Structure formats: structure tokens, C-alpha cells
Structure 1
């Protein structure tokens, strides 16, 4: 019993700096959460009094924070050797639990959660408190979408002396800002909380933390050696993440600019009194007006993929360019001009404004109306592609270029539309994010082994229909298995069915629905990419023993992993790859279809096959040219 009032019922959790209990408030007859701020085991009798005074001040400061995105503090109680804060008991799951279940979140949903975390942080910083442990486990997400920042057990005042244990900065290693470890560091600041927010945003959209490591030194070494983590699926969130993950806190995005950019990603109006971008500043920042709290509908989830490490600081090297700065400036200009949000700011308006609607015409000779060329309203052609399919579409991190059959086809189509190679912009899209990228107008076309199916052409409930031009290639269906397996002897696909071998495929692929109908056993949850399936197949500890995909995709994986995996014979069915675009885009579709007719009607098609795919398929001749059934009438 605490203070004769709060009955501790059961532990909710514990960490490096305290413990949290579910408790019953006997006076008001309600359940609450009670947290002790001190790690008793880390205190010696000589430091206990000072620690008590410090914790008392912090509890008082935290109790003054009133914001819908920060947990409500009801009371502060002190016992002989502990300072307790009594908080509202929240029935919501953590963002960490959400990510464990869904792996990654769609960009709009991640931006919404990030904005709410940031609004809570601005209120915290305005109270001269630094949270110090911003991470998915300390963010609660209600079913209605409201986000609450919790767990101030290791919070501190800005500029306070660093609290350490055994000479280490306290916190969760993958989320600790690099400046905390620099000689003469002032300790935690609002900027270090913003770094942790950047890590959290990255994790939501990319599926993992950018700088891996179980120990602080591992994470910080990764930051030092690779300060620019690959960003593949963040779309319009990329400039925000990049701006928050600058190792030098002076270059890092400030809270006001980050909020303006997040609002523009969501298409929200700017908050009252939101300043424009300037030099990064990190004294306590005034909390913004919280966005109205409607019931938020979770957006569909997109995509992740292997990421690579690291970032930190305090090394003397030339400052990196700030890729977020141009986007931040554009955001503020958009806010000042009162335009319609991030997508419009990038020159991506409604179809009627971009030459895709039927009303987009110019007067031709004799007064007849003719559609404007797509390029006239779209100086860049934005194309969604895969980055993990050898032969078809592969991204090289060293050269920062895409190569493969789909890439060559994209350039050929673009050339017929009047674009130079420099005017083509590629964006990585995974299997279950392709339609979302089109719907959000992040890309104009998707050329990413996108199989043409009736259900993709007609929107399912909660889905988004796309239009196709093509097919430009016909692939067969097949499986990839481990070359050596101690558990199964797999000779052909019938063994997979007979033995009940778990088969992995990409979420939202045609295989996800088709194979169970044919009696195959699928993994409990499908990942977002075939590369994820391959990673599981190569992991001897995994229960995945087979991957289902197109023969050309699997042939690339087999070639890249000699002696480790083996492709089985093809099974019934074919996948016709199409160039996807938004519906009701007659001008764009007409130009793409014209380009495809020219490409398939010349040696260009065979040359692209021989250059990129022939070696993967044992130098077999190219398959027959497909008929452009999706281009009839265009």
C-alpha cells in the first residue's frame, strides 16, 4: 500500500530506472498506474538523499504536463526510499506490439503516429523535461488512433547531469543519440529526443531500426561507419527521417519544422503559430496546438526490408548536405501559400491538372481538341520498381543505381514519352505497397513484376484498383527450396504438398490466395517482399523450406545463392507483368501503350531479355512476345 491509498495489484513492467504497477486507488475507487522513479539497486546510501530530491523535482515537473498525447499524471507520492508518480491507467497496446503484429505501417499511418508523438514531446520539452527513452515500447496507440507518450521513469531536466550506470548512458541503445557519447556532452536534450523520434519513424516504415546492435558501442560504431541508413519505403517521410537522424544535433531538424513537414505529409493544415524552418534550435519549444482528435482510421500497411546500420557523432568531418532542407523549405512555402499539401507541393495534383483526365486538352489545328503530352505537366516521370530481384530490378547501394529488365523497359518507355534518363525518378515499392504508391501519387507508373489480375483491376473493399498496360512479359510459377534440408526430401512441388512444407510468398502476391486453394501449406503470416522469404529460407533456424514466386524472380535468387537453394520445376499458371497506373488516366495509358507496341514490335524486347534474363534461365530463347491485351482501344 502506497500512502495508505494506492494498493499495488500486479506489476505492469520494469526497466533500468524503476517499476510500474497496476494499482487501485481506494479513495476514488479507480484503477491507476503507479511508477517508481528510482532504481533502488543503483543507489548507495550516500546518493539516496540526492536522488530522492532530484526524482521529486522531476515528478513535479512531469505532473504539470497536460497534453492529450502525454500520459496524465494524477498524483506524486513519496515513501522512505522511493518517489512514485500515479498516472492514468491506459488500456491500449504499445507501438512495439503493433509493429510486432504488422511489421511495418503505411506512410500516412506512421506520419500520423509520429506527429502525435512529436506534439507530446513539444509539450514535454516546454516543461523543461527531456523524456530520454522515446521508443515504440513507450508509445501507446489506442484503437481510435490516439497516441500517448508514456514512461517518464528516466526523464530528466534539460541540462541536468547525466545519469549513468557503470559509466554508461542510461537508455535503450538503438534509440540513443550519438551526441550523448561525445566528450563534454551536456547530457540529454530535446534534440536527443528528436533523434529517437527519427529512429521510431524509420522503424515504423522500414521494418527495423536503422542502426542495429544489442550494446551501446555496437550501435554507435554503426552510426560512425554508416551515418546514412538506406531509406526505401518512407516516400514523403524520407526528408523528415533524414532531418531527424543527423549525427550533429545542430544540423538536426527542430521540432517546429519537423511538425510542419509531418503535417504536409498528411495534408493537414499547419498548426497555429508554427514557425518556418530556420537554424535548428533545441531549447524548450512551445507545444503546438494538438490536431483535432477525430477517430483515426488506420491506413493500410505497406512495406519493409533489410536495412543496414548506423549513425553518431563527435567526429571531425565535413558536414553532410542536408537533404531534408529543401523539402522543409518547400513545406513552409506550401503552408504560406495555402496549397493542398505535400503531394501538390511536389507538382502532383489531381489527374485533371496533370494531363491524365479526359478534360485535359489543347486546341489543335482546325479547333479540334488533342490531349496534352504527359510530359508537359510532369517534367519528371516517377516510376515504382523493385530493388531486390536480380535480373528484373536490383538496386546497387554502392553506385546508387537500379539495373535489370524492368529498369531498361522503364527507360525505353520514358524515352518514347520524351523523357531523358535524367528525367526518370525511381522509387522502391514492395509487393503490397504498389497500389498504395499509385493511389498516394508518389509514382506515375509501377513497373515491378506486377501481375495483371482481375481483382487488381477492380477495387476490393478497402483496396485500390489500378489500370494496366501490357503484359510486357509472361512468367511461369515456381518454387525455390533449400539445396540441403535435414528435415525434408523435396524433389518436386508434389512433395511440398504431401509433406505440408511451409511455403513463404510475398503479401498481396497472386500466390498468397492461389496456393492454399491447391493444397499448399503457407507460413502463418506472409512478409512484404520475396527477399524476406528468401532470407527466411536461407536461415537454417527458420521453419520456411520453400518460397513461391515467378520462375524469373526465383532464377535470380538461385543465381545469387549458388549451392544454397534450388528451383523446382514450374507449375501450372502464368503471370503476365503489366505497367500499372492510376485508373482514368487515358493520356498516360495511351502513351505507355504506344511505347510498348514499339518496344515489343522491334528487337528492343529481345535485346533487353538477352542482356538481363537470358543467363538466369540457362540461356534459353526468350518466351513468345505477349499480346498487349490491356492496351486494346489505346
Structure 2
């Protein structure tokens, strides 16, 4: 669906967040309540009739999801039907998924891996008590937030325990790397299948390796899942403590009867290994978000003028706020190339953005900053600023104000040196404006 389209007459699509086998997820604006939401469109189960049996099953699943109230489970706000396609409206989670964290960090310390798994287990315990199975536990469905939460999302693939799955023919639910063998065989999944996924994620965190080896051929992965299974951690020279290794082995057992009975039991067993884990994860997330915000800001480059690489002005915000206090700090390591907006993207944005829409997007970004959703704000400003520079000019108030708030993002992410550099550049433009006004 296109950006700007209204789903259910209420949710204006803003940006595509991702696609999967079941559909696509968009960031959207709730026009009634004025808040950011995530809209998941279940394209794989399209063609529903408002009064049909499939829609009734979907409503039952949505009601089951809505019963789950826990900080470790993504909140469901609404559901409905749009042009024959079912959709779910959920909270937007600002953070990093577990797959990204391990990809950038490698194997996690025992305390960090155990703390994340403990959060997952507690969330699953609540979901299972509500009669809901997740059915797709994998690293990309585990979000780690900067405020120190572990959140399971994509319960759109879940179903009420014992009920028929809502799926189109031929659609496989889950990833073979993290799917329980009985689920791969097409059997009726139970809570023990979610615990298998939890164990496979814990193996992934502790080793930095995919549970069933490199993904070269899905068929080969399925053969390993149904054959030798996940390698045992017990007795591995570089493995975790014995009790933790034994727990991972039990969770990843081929036979569901050999796994722990309940998620609450797993959470209790993990708690002994979690000391210091939350601090490690939140520190790492802060560093990743800071580095991304810095690279995004520094990567905005236009062809006109050497001063245009940053963004806007040290002009007080709508509430007269000053930037957060900043402290100079040593340059931190940054991996990879500095990203820049592609020429195609810039032309597309330039062609569609007016002075009014630029100001509107800037206001959205300011609201995000004030709510503490800094990474989302940094992304939005990275798109708005170069357009403002090119369309409105580098010393236009909208451009300068956007740059000011970009500096605020950097400062609050502890990128003090970069924030000060940006504010210095912005101040030069402000001084020029004042000098021109006094002539």
C-alpha cells in the first residue's frame, strides 16, 4: 500500500517498516489520537468477507491478543478489515531486534543473554496463561528497547491454543532455524514449541551462531532440525555454565516431553544468571543508536555548499527548550560506510515536499524528541533537513530549527561532541541572518 493511504479511515501510512510471508508492517499516524502506531496488513490472508467465517476467526484471535497485558508483549490497539485485508494496529517499538544486536556484537555475555531470555520467558508465561501461543519465536521478533525492556512482537501469527491457525494455504509459519520439530512436521503446536524457540534464541545469543548452522539451503536446515537437531551446549569447552547449558539443551530437545513444562519455570531457572545483563544490553543499545544517529546526520550531503552537510539551527524550540547538556567525549568507533540519501530518494522527497509538509514533518520529529523516541526522530530529521536546505535554503527558520532538534537528538544520545559541532555550524547561519537583518 502507498504512503499516505488511510487504513480503516483512521490510520495514515507513513513508512514501510518491513515485509514478511504473512504481510507487511507500516509505521502510521493515528489521526484520531495523534500518535504513532504500527499497522500490520495480513496480505497473505486477504479476500476476507466482513461477515465470513475467516473474519470471525480473525476477530477471536485479535481479542485473545488484546487480553495480554504485559510490558514484554507488544500492545494491540485495534484491528479491522481494509479492502478485504485484515489488519492489526499495535504500538511502535523503538529499539533494536535481537538479531541485529547479535549481528553487531557477536556472542553475548552470559548475563546479557540470560536477562534477555528471562524477559522472553516472562512474556511467554503471561501469553500462555491467556491461551495464546506465539508460534514464531525468533531473534527478529524480539525487540530490545533503550528503556530496558524485552518485548515480543508479531503475535499476528499467534493463535488461540487449540484453535485452527489463520493462514493461507501453503504459508509456513515460522523460521526453520527456530521452529520446533513437531511444528515443522505440521503437528499441533503447544506451549512447548514456543519454549523450543526460546531455547534456540538462547543458543544463538550465547554462541553467536545459528542453531542449525549457516543457512545455505532451507531443505538442509529442515533436515538438521528433524535429524541431529540443535548441537548440545553441555560439555562444550567454550560453553556457558553447566546449569545454563543444561537448560538450553532441555529447551532444544527434539521430544516436547523432554522440555520444561512452563515458561515460568524457565524464567525462574534463568534468574540466577541475569545480574548485570540489563546494564550491558541498555549500554550497548545506547551506543548503537548514538552511532546510527551520528552517521545519519553526518551522511546527509548535498552538492551545493560545504556547510550543508549538517542540518538546522540553535533556535529555541516551541517550548523554549534548550538542548540537553552535552559533554565532550572521545570519538567512538563507527563501523561501515557513512550512509547518504540516494539521488533517487532525494529527488522523490524533493518532488513531494512543500514548505508546509516540511514544517509538518519537523513538528512530528519534535514531538518524537520530546517523547524520548530519539532514533525515530533522528531518522525523520535526516530526511527533512536536506530537503529544507535545498528547497527553503540553509538559513531558513524551518531548516535551522530542524537542525537544532537534530543536535538535541545527538546530545540526548550522548553524542556531545557531534552535537556541539552541529550547533556551531547552525550558529554560523544564525549569525549571518542577524548580520543581514542589521544591515
TM-score, length of structure 2 as denominator length: 0.57
* 2:245 is aligned with 1:245: no
Distance 1:61 1:38, change over 3 A: farther
Q: Deviations over 1:9-45 (max 9, x none)?
A: 11111111121110001111111111123414xx567
**8 Å Cα contact 1:18/1:153 also seen in 2:** no
- State the Cα distance separating 1:153 from its structure 2 match: 2.3
The aligned length equals 276
C-alpha contact (below 8 Å) 1:175/1:196 kept by paired residues: yes
Q: Is the 8 A contact 1:162 1:169 kept in 2?
A: no
Q: Which has the higher contact order (CA 8 A, sep 6+)?
A: 2
2:170 & 2:218 partners in 1: Cα distance?
A: 12
Q: Distance in 2 between matches of 1:177 and 1:170?
A: 11
Cα 1:163/1:180, change in 2 over 3 Å: farther
CA displacement, residues 210-233 of structure 1 (integer Å, 9 cap, x when unaligned):
213455542231134323504243
Q: Is the 8 A contact 2:176 2:225 kept in 1?
A: no
CA gap of 1:299–1:153, structure 2 versus 1, over 3 A, is closer
> 2:18 touches 2:26 (CA, 8 Å); kept in 1?
yes
Partner of 2:20: 15
1:427 is matched with: none
Shift of 1:190: 1.2
The correspondence of residues 63-462 of structure 1 with structure 2, limited to 5 A, is 63-162=66-165, 167=170, 169-182=172-185, 185-186=187-188, 188-212=189-213, 213=215, 217-227=219-229, 229-231=231-233, 232-235=238-241, 236-254=243-261, 255-266=263-274, 296-298=278-280
Q: Is the 8 A contact 2:147 2:282 kept in 1?
A: no
In structure 1, what is the Cα distance between the partners aligned to 2:256 and 2:50? Answer: 31
Cα distance between partner residues in 1 of 2:39 and 2:49: 26
Aligned residue for 1:275?
none
Q: Judging changes above 3 Å, is the alpha-carbon distance between structure 1 residues 106 and 32 closer, same or farther for their aligned structure 2 residues?
A: same
- The structure with more radius of gyration: 1
Is contact 1:198–1:244 with CA below 8 Å preserved after alignment? yes
Cα RMSD after superposing both structures: 3.1
Secondary structure in 2 matching 1:39: helix
CA deviations 1:489-529 (Å, max 9, x no partner) are xxxxxxxxxxxxxxxxxxxxxxxxxxxxxxxxxx969xxxx
CA-CA distance at 1:60 after TM superposition: 1.5
TM-score normalised according to structure 1 size: 0.40
Partner of residue 344, structure 2: none
Unaligned runs of 5+ in 1: 269-294, 302-522, 526-634
Aligned equivalent of 1:529: none
Distance 1:258 1:265 in 2: 12
Please say if residues 5 and 27 of structure 1, whose CA atoms lie closer than 8 Å, have aligned partners that are also in contact.
yes
Q: Residues 142 and 152 of structure 2 are in contact (CA less than 8 Å); yes or no, is this contact kept in structure 1?
A: yes
Deviation at 1:262, TM superposition (A): 0.5
For residue 35 of structure 2, what is the aligned residue in structure 1? 30
SS at match of 1:297: helix
Query: Displacement, 1:177?
Result: 0.5
2:21–2:171 CA contact under 8 A, matched in 1: no
Is the CA contact (8 Å cut-off) linking 1:23 and 1:34 kept in structure 2? yes
CA contact (8 A) 1:17 1:37 kept: yes
Q: CA deviation at 1:182?
A: 4.1
Distance 1:164 1:31 in 2: 28
Q: 1:181 to 1:139 in 2, by over 3 A?
A: closer
